[in-house]
Structure 1
Amino acid sequence: MKRLINQTPAPVTRALLGLLPFVLLVIAYVLASEARLAENPADKLLPSFTQIGDAIYRMAFEPSKRTGEYLLWADTASSLSRLALGVLIAAAIGLVLGLFTGALPLVSAAASPLLTVVSLIPPLAILPVLFIIFGLGEVSKVALIAIGITPYIARDLQRRTREIPSEQLVKAQTLGAGTSQIICRVLLPQLMPRLIDAVRLSLGAGWLFLIAAEAIAATDGLGYRIFLVRRYMAMDVILPYVAWITLLAFLIDLLLAGLSRRLYPWQSKGAW
């Protein structure tokens, strides 16, 4: 008899097993919603799918009476622009810090202790400081995202740099390569796919910092809208927004994974 630990599901079975938890969650939600609405039709905690659909249509396809904007799309554009800018800044700074602290012992001795200390500071704890320094505009929100995920990216790339076999560095020096050539021609090409992986892993934290900043001080954005309507217990709006954020995060991760495979196909075969 084949042991369970050795059984591998077929592709179709794997897909069905992957869908099963979602189906069960939907069924559980429908049953709970119907039970609550049967007792109290005005209940707002678990709206029906009809109510959720009406809310989605209202937010996405009807212009706001106050601003004339289609709120879902306007909020999405604002949030994605903040997230993209913050992640790009974090990726650039993280790459430089990770590369140089991992490759140059002198730089590591000077910068690594500070990088470690900064990585231990809860980014949300300094959000009031950012608001005081940069004001309540876009800069403080982008800065929170960048400060929040830069240490993670930098430390991950630092570790990846140190994992590159020293034989490669010795061979490059034997062929006459200088420090700058080794960094640009040997280390950097191998770190770029690792940078994409680090960004993918840090996006969850990036979304957290974005939502927190928008909830506290913003006039638009997905986080702002969720915390705005919570005072009315508008779960028919909150739940679709949460699902939309989840879908966006999944699509961004999928896009980055595809970009990594396309630009660096050798990575899946093992760079070192």
Structure 2
Amino acid sequence: MKRLINLTPSRGGRWLLGGLPFALLAILYIVQSNQRLLDNSNDRLLPSFASMGESFAKLATEVNVRTGDLPLWTDTFASLERLLAGVLISALIGLTVGLLTGGLPLLRAKLSPLITVLSLIPPMAILPILFIAFGTGELAKIALIVIGITPFLIRDLQNQALRLPDEQLIKAQTLGTSSWQVLTRVLLPQLTPRLLSATRLALGSAWLFLIAAEAIAAQDGLGYRIFLVRRYLAMDVILPYVAWITLLAFLLDRLLVTISTRAFPWYHAEESQS
């Protein structure tokens, strides 16, 4: 008799087991929605899938009379532009500082306490400061994402650098490499795939900071739209937007996975063996 810990589902079984919770949640929602709509046809808390689909299609295909654009796509492109800018800046800073602090003990001793303190500051608490310093434009929103996830990336990459075998550094120095060559030829190639993994983990926080910033001060964006219609209790718009954000986050996550597996297959081979 096989033990439970040794049972591995087939590929089709994984899809079935993975989709089962979603199916159960959908059934539960439909039952609760139908019950509330039977009791009150004007109930807005749990709209039907039909009404949500209709509202979503309207936002995607009908031009806004006031602005002359398609709300869904305008909001999506605005949010993605802010998110990608913030994440790319954070990744660049995280890789640079993580590489230097992970490879240079003197720099690590000087900067690590500061990075640790910065990572403990709640980014949402300094959002008003960012709006005062940078105004309510794009810079403040992007800065919030950068401040929110950069310390995490730095610490993760620094720890990854410190976990590398000392033998690699010793052999490299024995062959006559300089400190710069050790950083760029030994540490950098091994930290780059880890950067993609850490960025995947930070995407959820990046979305959170983006939505919060757009909710407070923006004229477009997914977070702006959600908080704009909340005053009307328009759950038929809010719920599809939340699902849309989730789908975008999933696609970005899969994109990072694809880039990582194709660019650094050796890294994922080591992961599967560990």
Per the alignment, do residues 153 and 132 of structure 1 end up closer, same or farther by CA in structure 2, a change over 3 Å counting?
same
**Structure 1 Cα separation of the partners of residues 185 and 10 of structure 2:** 42
Q: Gapped runs of 5+ residues in structure 2?
A: none
1:140 aligns with 2:140: yes
Number of equivalent positions: 272
Aligned to 2:181: 181
Aligned to 2:72: 72
| Deviation of the 1:50 alpha carbon | 1.2
Encode CA deviations 1:175-230: one digit per residue, 9 max, x unaligned.
Answer: 11000011111110111000111111100000000000000000000000000000
**Structure 2 Cα separation of the partners of residues 251 and 109 of structure 1:** 38
Equivalent residue runs for 1:15-54 within 5 Å: 15-54=15-54
TM-score normalised by L of structure 1: 0.98
1:214 aligns with 2:214: yes
TM-score normalised by L of structure 2: 0.97
Q: Percent identity?
A: 62
**Structure 2 Cα separation of the partners of residues 225 and 268 of structure 1:** 39
**Structure 1 Cα separation of the partners of residues 260 and 163 of structure 2:** 20
**Structure 2 Cα separation of the partners of residues 186 and 53 of structure 1:** 52
The secondary structure found in structure 1 opposite 2:198 is helix
Q: Gapped runs of 5+ residues in structure 1?
A: none
**Structure 2 Cα separation of the partners of residues 263 and 160 of structure 1:** 19
1:244 aligns with 2:244: yes
Amino acid at match of 1:153: L
Equivalent residue runs for 1:65-214 within 5 Å: 65-214=65-214
| Deviation of the 1:2 alpha carbon | 2.6
Aligned to 2:12: 12
1:233 aligns with 2:240: no
**Structure 2 Cα separation of the partners of residues 4 and 136 of structure 1:** 54
| Deviation of the 1:72 alpha carbon | 0.4
**Structure 2 Cα separation of the partners of residues 117 and 98 of structure 1:** 15
**Structure 1 Cα separation of the partners of residues 51 and 19 of structure 2:** 24
| Deviation of the 1:10 alpha carbon | 2.1
Amino acid at match of 1:14: R
| Deviation of the 1:4 alpha carbon | 2.3
1:265 aligns with 2:268: no
| Deviation of the 1:108 alpha carbon | 0.6
Encode CA deviations 1:9-51: one digit per residue, 9 max, x unaligned.
Answer: 2222221111111111111111111111111111101111111
Amino acid at match of 2:153: I
**Structure 1 Cα separation of the partners of residues 177 and 239 of structure 2:** 56
The secondary structure found in structure 2 opposite 1:270 is helix
**Structure 2 Cα separation of the partners of residues 146 and 31 of structure 1:** 42
CA RMSD of aligned residues (A): 1.1
**Structure 1 Cα separation of the partners of residues 195 and 124 of structure 2:** 24
Amino acid at match of 1:217: A
**Structure 1 Cα separation of the partners of residues 145 and 5 of structure 2:** 41
Amino acid at match of 1:70: L
The secondary structure found in structure 1 opposite 2:9 is coil
Aligned to 2:55: 55
